Amino acid sequence: MTIEEINQKVVEKSQLIDGIYDEVQKVIVGQNYMVKRILVGLLANGHILLEGVPGLAKTLTVNTVSQTVAADFKRIQFTPDLLPADLIGTLIYNQKTSEFIPKKGPLFANFILADEINRAPAKVQSALLEAMQEKQVTISDTTYKLPNPFLVMATQNPIEQEGTFPLPEAQVDRFMLKLMIGYPTREEEKMILDRMVKAEKIMINPVIHPKEIIELRNIVKEIYMEDKIKEYILDLVFATRNPENFKNLNELKDLIEMGASPRATIYLAQAAKAHAFLEHRGYVTPDDIKAIGKDVLRHRINLTYEAEAEQVTQEDIVSRLFDEIEVP
């Protein structure tokens, strides 16, 4: 398929995503960054971690996006007393037949909102992350496939440490994107105030079906990416591992304990293609990499004690990479 044919197909099919965006804006004021990144995850088949203080409409946004898709949606409120069986399900004894029958848990849905994921203990977190990776769960000795599409959007609150179980760095790597959600502007908050104090409930209409999402994902995979863009992605990822090999980045060597994994390379390419699709293009540009890069890389860099002592953040490191790595 030529670039022109891919471009034409993208222009035609991306109208469906515009419909989702229009529906979401009925409820959500501002937060365009969060909405677009959720759509990137939806198109690129990648799970999303949202971090921000309470009250920034993280849960509401995820819930609203799921309503625009005629698919199953489950919200799981994570708590310290949650068990893995509360997510994946368990076996129930049937007295009539004298048999154990499987009772599937809330993970058997297309969209999962894992609210405050850092409130659950490690066993529960690992059960969720295994399901994210394998797209299947095992109850007793039987393995069950999860629905397709299957997308987990997890939220966590960065300000509370008491009673929380922070996600280990290796497990955070399973998320394609980590989004840092900020406060709305004064004008946006005025619009929120006007909209939310009204009595009537805002109705959200489904505009797309799960089968169509799978079709869109197949189109996203076909989006053209030239070798120069691939080299740019590799430069960014390898600069997190061996910054001394890149011009003007030598001082980062003592600040980075561990760089991004090959999963970052794959996710950066997939997310960039999805971002190009949202921009109605059938080809990836360096601007797509720049737009999505921080969300893919910020949670994949482990800092040294020296970096923490100097109050250097992962965000600072990633920004420096994009400033210094040559753009094709």
H or E, element range at 257: strand 256-258
Cβ proximity of 10 and 218 under 8 Å: no
Residue 199's pLDDT is: 61
Distance CA 191, CA 215 (A): 36
- Strands, E, within 267-319: which ranges? 302-303
Is this model's pTM higher than 0.85 or not?
A: yes
Residue 286's pLDDT is: 94
All structural domains of the chain with their residue ranges: 18-195, 223-324
DSSP string covering 142-156, please?
Answer: EEEEPPSS-EEEEEE
Beta bridge partners of 104: 89
For 223-324, CATH number out of 3.60.20.10, 1.10.8.80, 3.90.1200.10, 1.20.1440.130 equals 1.10.8.80
Q: Where are the alpha helices (DSSP H) in 166-285?
A: 169-172, 186-196, 210-222, 227-241, 262-278
Residue 126's pLDDT is: 82
- 240-246 contacts at long range (C-beta below 8 A, 24 or more positions apart): 240/264, 240/297, 240/300, 240/301, 240/317, 240/321, 246/324, 246/325
> Which single residue is written with the structure tokens 């629905």?
147
For 18-195, CATH number out of 3.30.260.10, 3.40.190.10, 3.40.50.150, 3.40.50.300 equals 3.40.50.300
Residue 161's pLDDT is: 63
Distance CA 325, CA 228 (A): 13
H or E, element range at 306: helix 305-309
Residue 129's pLDDT is: 82
- What is the pLDDT tens value at each position of the chain, 328 positions in all? 778 888 888 888 888 888 888 888 888 887 788 889 999 999 999 999 988 877 778 888 888 888 888 888 888 998 888 888 899 888 888 888 888 888 888 999 888 998 888 888 888 888 888 888 888 888 878 888 999 889 998 888 776 666 677 777 767 888 999 998 888 888 888 888 887 777 677 788 888 888 899 999 999 999 999 999 999 999 999 999 998 888 888 888 888 988 898 999 999 999 999 999 999 988 999 999 999 999 999 889 888 898 888 888 888 999 999 998 988 8
CA atoms in the 13 A half-sphere facing the CB of 288: 28
**How many C-beta atoms surround the C-beta of residue 264 within 10 A?**
22
Distance CA 14, CA 32 (A): 17
Cβ proximity of 184 and 31 under 8 Å: yes
